[in-house]
Amino acid sequence: MTLNKKFSALTMLYAANVLDGGRTLEEVPEVLRDDVAGILKNDDSADSTSASSTPAA
């Protein structure tokens, strides 16, 4: 995953917390929500890319 924008440590912590299921995107403070959603969207596209490039067993 490559991010083209710098995010604050707090934003990255909230994104990690959403990813691990500790919090939902709706529970993220509104001022950080757009950036967290952008991180999550970028992570989803990276997951689908890596999943499609893995060979079938």
**Residue 51 CB neighbours (<10 A):** 8
pLDDT at 51: 52
pLDDT at 54: 53
pLDDT at 7: 87
| Cβ pair 32, 14 in contact under 8 A | yes
Of residues 51 and 2, more confidently modeled: 2
Q: Quick check: 42 pLDDT over 80?
A: yes
Q: pLDDT digit string (tens) for 10-41?
A: 999 999 999 999 999 999 999 999 999 999 99
pTM: 0.69
